[in-house]
Amino acid sequence: MNGVTARRKVFVAMSGGVDSSVAALLLERQGYDITGVTFKLFEDDDDAGEAERPCCSLASVERARGVCHALGVPHYVMNFVADFRDTVIDPFVREYALGRTPNPCVCCNRHLKFDRFLRKARAIGADCIATGHHARVSGDGSHRLLPGRDAGKDQSYALSHLNQSTLPHVLFPVGEHTKAEVRELARAAELPTAETAESQDICFVLRGHYGDFLRRRGLPDAPGPIVDREGRVLGEHRGLHHTTVGQRKSLGFSSGKRMYIIEKRVADNTLVVGDYGEVCQAEVELEDVNWCDLPAGDWPEDATGREVLAMLRYRQKPVPATITADDAAQRRLGLRLERPAVAAPGQLLTMYDSGDGHVLGGGTIC
């Protein structure tokens, strides 16, 4: 974060947690004209479970408002109930119905924070938005997306949908700090969120397993066979949407050795399991690919043959990979991994530059 010019107006997305609170604190100290914004994501008739929400609750709104009051800056609530339903909850249900494993937090970042919120903020006068993500944007004019300084908290993996149409309008103030430093900054400023616990759960799944949420959303439990590659029946699952590719716990049968889910066959409602070698794959195909170094919708001329580092899940060590095929019209890529890894359909794969480590882009494993 380099110099500030003429009191740039920034809307800070504030969840009521310590990271977004310190993001607002840092920007206020750097001379930005900031406004705190908390999202309303749920209908009023969902409020019975408010106290259990890991974020986006009435309590989190009050915490965010308290931080803004302590900083002497405005705070508002923006209603994104319909957007959240249409772009996060409904796709979450549809993807599980197709046998895939979606990441709702990635969808929320992509469609709400860095699309709806960004567009609305700029439409009413903001120069940019800020969030509490542990990531960085290079300050040399290139707007490259970089991992956060704290490798253990880095969230750049979940931001590979950003590009040169959005990155110039986004700030990540806490990305230059470790989590411990963020906590200490909040304590020193006596912010009411200094000791707030981190959110680990899906915010719209209040009780039980996400499979129970899916059932309440109309995806019924449909028991079916669990088989190995040879077709031998080993047990019975209680519904494909209760499982994910790569899972090895709570499979519903005992074989005397570690078994993993390697395929969810929706066509015949069958769960296929095998050993770890069978669940890993060296060839991965991506759809809906975005390139961070280009404007939205653009495609590089030299994608095929490029060597990258591929992260197939959050906080996983990146795997060296080579792009083997690219289709600009369909926005698809093929990659060959140097070491076979678990690639769950529906999950995000983020590509990092094998040289300086900045985020090149990403897509959905298909």
Report the sign of the C-alpha dihedral through residues 1, 30, 17, 124, in that order.
negative
Closest residue by Cα to residue 17 from 172, 159, 198, 174: 198
**Residue 336 corresponds to which tokens in the numbers above?**
């060959």
Tell me the sheet residues that pair with 283: 336
* pLDDT recorded at residue 196: 87
CB 186 within 8 A of CB 22: yes
Give me the tens of pLDDT residue by residue for the chain, a chain 366 residues long: 445 446 899 999 999 999 999 999 999 999 999 999 999 998 864 544 545 555 667 788 999 999 999 999 999 999 999 999 999 999 999 999 999 999 999 999 999 999 999 999 999 999 999 999 999 999 777 799 999 999 999 999 999 999 999 999 999 999 999 999 999 999 999 999 998 887 766 788 876 678 888 888 888 889 999 999 999 999 999 899 988 999 888 887 877 788 999 999 999 999 999 999 999 999 999 999 999 999 999 999 989 999 999 999 998 899 999 999 999 999 999 999 999 999 999 999 999 999 999 999 999 999
Q: Is 203 a catalytic residue?
A: yes
* Fold agreement (9-133+172-188, 222-274): no
User: What is the fold, at CATH topology level, of the domain defined by 222-274?
Assistant: SH3 type barrels. (2.30.30)
Helix (H) or strand (E) holding 77: strand 75-79
Could you state, in order of their start, the residue ranges of all structural domains in the chain?
A: 9-133+172-188, 222-274, 280-365
CB 107 within 8 A of CB 89: no
9-133+172-188 under CATH 3.40.50.620, yes or no: yes
Q: Which CATH architecture has domain 280-365?
A: Beta Barrel (2.40)
Q: Say which amino acid occupies 19.
A: D
Q: Say which amino acid occupies 100.
A: R
Catalytic pick among 108, 128, 280, 292: 108
Q: Is 128 a catalytic residue?
A: no
